[in-house]
Amino acid sequence: MSTPDAADAVDAVDAVTYWEDVYAARPVVTDPRPNVRLTEVVTALPPGRALDLGCGNGGDALWLARQGWRVNAVDISAVAVARLTDLARSGGLGDRVTAARHDLHESFPRGGFDLVNAHYLHTPFDLDRSSVLRGAAHALRPGGRLLVVDHGSTAPWSWNQDPDAHFPTPHEVAAGIGADPSAWTIERAEASRRTATGPGGQRAEVTDHILLLRRAS
C-alpha cells in the first residue's frame, strides 16, 4: 500500500476514514491482478467457497471466481467494496462474488469456508491480527485452508518505512493463531523473495512470509 503520508494521516483520522480516502483517491482499476502467492497455492485446489479478507482492488476475488470459486470478499472501505461489486457484475461474475464492508476490528463474516485468503493484512491502525486470523482458522470447513501472506521486508513504496520494523515469521503468525496441531496442519511456512511492482510502477525485490494452514478433514 503506497501511502507516503500515513503517519500524519493516522494522527488525523480514524481507520475507516483513512482507507476510504485512500481508495477514493485512486483511479478505478478495471483489470486488477491477483497476488502471485494466491495463484501458485490455489491453482491445484478444487473450487469451493472462499473468503477474501481485505479485498482491496479485488484482483484475488475476481481471479478466484474465474477459477470456479464462490467468493465472499470483505474490506473496511465501502469504496473498495462498491468497485469490486461493479467489476464482478460487469465481468459476468456477479453470482460468484459477494462483497461486503467489514471492519475486522469489530466484526467477522459468518459462514464456513474452504479457503480463507489473507494477503498483506497490514494497517497503520490498531488491529488484533492474531484474533482475526484465529477467527479465520476457525471459519474453515474440514479440509479447508488458510493462506496468510505478509510482508517480510520493506518495499520502497510501503507506508511503513520504520528501519526497526519487525516482520513476524510464518511460524510466529501460526503461534499467534494458536492452532492445535491435532486439528490444523502447517502445509507451508517460509520466506520467499520475488520482484514486485509498486503502485507507481517502481520495481524492487521484496520478501513474502507465507503461511498455509490446513484444517483436518
Q: Is the dihedral of CA 7, 8, 12, 18 positive or negative?
A: negative
Record the cell numbers describing residue 67, joined without a space. Answer: 477459477
Query: What distance in Å separates the CA atoms of residue 137 and residue 73, rounded to the nearest whole number?
Result: 16
Task: Quote the pTM value.
Answer: 0.89
- pLDDT exceeds 70 at position 54: yes
Across 22-51, average pLDDT: 94
Residue of higher predicted confidence among 7 and 104: 104
Per residue in 106-154, pLDDT tens? 999 999 999 999 999 988 888 899 999 999 999 999 999 999 999 888 7
Buried b (16+ CB within 10 A) or exposed e, 92-101: ebeebbbbeb
Closest to 42 measured CA to CA, from 145, 142, 121:
145
Domains identified in the chain and CATH numbers? 6-215 (3.40.50.150)
Per residue in 183-208, pLDDT tens? 999 999 999 998 888 777 888 888 99
Residue of higher predicted confidence among 12 and 194: 194
Q: Write down the pLDDT at residue 157.
A: 65
Contacts of 138 (CB under 8 A, 6+ apart): none
The alpha carbon torsion through 70, 76, 77, 83 (nearest 10 deg) reads 0
Across 13-34, average pLDDT: 91
Element (H, E) at 41: helix 36-42
Q: Write down the pLDDT at residue 74.
A: 97
Q: What is the DSSP string of 54-93?
A: S-TTSHHHHHHHHTT-EEEEEES-HHHHHHHHHHHHHTT-
Q: Write down the pLDDT at residue 159.
A: 62
Crossing angle of helices 15-24 and 78-90, rounded to 10°: 40
Across 162-169, average pLDDT: 82
- pLDDT exceeds 90 at position 166: no
Band of residue 164 on the pLDDT scale cut at 50, 70, 90 = confident
Per the CB < 8 A criterion, the answer to whether 101 and 76 are in contact is yes
- pLDDT exceeds 90 at position 13: no
Per residue in 56-92, pLDDT tens? 999 999 999 999 999 999 999 999 999 999 999 999 9
Record the cell numbers describing residue 114, joined without a space. Answer: 474452504
